[in-house]
Structure 1
């Protein structure tokens, strides 16, 4: 339940179109409901502007299905099932098919965080996608092996109505490839930069755009890359001012950080009108 839904609920009670007992039944789901060993945070969108997501790894297919069903029945939207394995997707769709959109990860060799399953078989499933928004967000990745993390970020943005512009394979080892996209980066409202190895792409992007830059280190790289630690530290140590850095392989976190920036800007525009 978000702020608008709560306001509508109270208005219905005030107008007499919804019995108070029915409203109380719905409000009992706040702030959480216990389902399948999890406490579903129905109150999160009301507090933060965005609902919680369902993280697939470590959950059984039945848990995924029951949690998604509870979130949908409680009015949450968008509802995301992230990094889901085929069995989890099948179970969730069997329970909650209507309106679901599959967003498979790009092919790539990255470990995608948990290291337990290749990224190619993991997907993000979305129910109740938000209405389209006008902001221009670029998701730029250094190499094709960074694709799964970039795809996750783009899928999460899409769930919230932002159609990300993907720019792939512009790592600095081929500087001409990066320079060919400078105008695209400069025109963005926000840029998510996904890079492994030494993570240098984030510094280069932050040097050519005034937009907020959210950097995502990936676990792509040879031994000295230390499964993403080298890129993580390099991004934190960047000489380009103002870069924000999320955890290794955290495309979801980068997208949600971007949504907070975009939502704040949208609120400021509304208040200025």
Structure 2
């Protein structure tokens, strides 16, 4: 039941067009359904104004299938994040039209490509090794109805590559900067634009990168203002925040 259907249902109920038994039947799925290993939230999409999302990491194939089967029956779009090809093959049996974005590790059920916001989210990477995390952000932001552009491999090791694209940077409404190693790119971008910058540290790098911790601390200590930082490799979280900023600005 989406927002329009819920409104219509409540109006019909007030007018007496729906009896008590039917109302109980319709409302029994609010706000969630308990299936033992999960409490499936049917109305998160209504509250958050974005498709439902299922994190596949740490769940068994049967658990993933059980959750997505219920959500897919009631939601327009469902995203399954951190999904392997094995998970995709399982889900494809339920939803043959499900699409798998392998680099982003995202499955989209009932995909609806519709741009709801013309303001651009620009996703930038320092290096090619950061693209996996960047694509998680791109696919998520697009699924949420945003216009997304990419600018990859423009890190500080060759700063002229970034400066060559200065117009693109300044035209974006929100910028997501994905970088490993020492994570310096977020500070550089933050110093060049007057828009919100969301920094995503990645676990890419040599030696004392410490699995992304060095980049994370560097981004948190940025001398450029207007930068927010999400957790290591969290492309999904960056896209979700960018979507909220894009929708409210």
TM-score (structure 2 length as normaliser)? 0.91
Q: Which residue of 1 aligns with 2:58?
A: 58
In the alignment, is the contact (CA less than 8 A) between 1:154 and 1:163 conserved in 2?
no
User: In structure 1, which of residues 169, 174, 183 is the aligned counterpart of residue 153 of structure 2?
Assistant: 169
Work out the CA distance in 2 between the residues paired with 1:36 and 1:191. Answer: 40
Q: Is the 8 A contact 1:187 1:209 kept in 2?
A: no
Does the Cα contact within 8 Å between 2:95 and 2:109 map onto a contact in 1? no
Q: Is the 8 A contact 2:195 2:226 kept in 1?
A: no
Q: Which runs of 5+ in 1 are unaligned?
A: 107-121, 266-273
Q: Which runs of 5+ in 2 are unaligned?
A: none
Kindly provide the CA deviation profile for residues 157-185 of structure 1, in whole angstroms up to 9, marking residues without a partner as x. 11112231011000011011111111101
Q: How far does residue 63 in structure 1 lie from its aligned partner after superposition?
A: 1.7
The Cα of 1:42 is off from its aligned counterpart by 1.8
Partners of 1:62 and 1:88 within 8 A in 2: no
SS in 2 for 1:197: coil
Aligned to 1:129: 112
**2:81 match: secondary structure:** strand
The structure 2 residue matched to 1:226, chosen from 210, 214, 218, is: 210
- Report how far residue 69 of structure 1 moved: 1.2
- Matches of 1:180 and 1:15, distance apart in 2: 62
Q: How many residues align?
A: 248
More divergent stretch after superposition (130-139 vs 2-11): 2-11
Cα distance change of structure 1 residues 36 and 91 upon mapping to structure 2, 3 Å threshold = farther
* Pair 72,124 (structure 1): closer, same or farther in 2 beyond 3 Å: closer
Partner of residue 167 from structure 2, selected from 179, 183, 190: 183
Select which of 98, 102, 105 maps to 2:103. 105
CA contact (8 A) 1:218 1:227 kept: yes
* Segment of structure 1 superposing worse, 140-149 or 4-13: 4-13
For residues 173 and 101 of structure 2, what CA distance do their matches in structure 1 show? 23
1:8 aligns with 8
* Cα separation, partners in 2 of 1:5 and 1:249, compared to 1, 3 Å: farther
Cα shift at 1:35 = 2.9
Distance 2:177 2:27 in 1: 40
Structure 1 residues 92 and 199, CA, compared in 2 at 3 Å: closer, same or farther?
same
TM-score of the pair, normalised by structure 1: 0.83
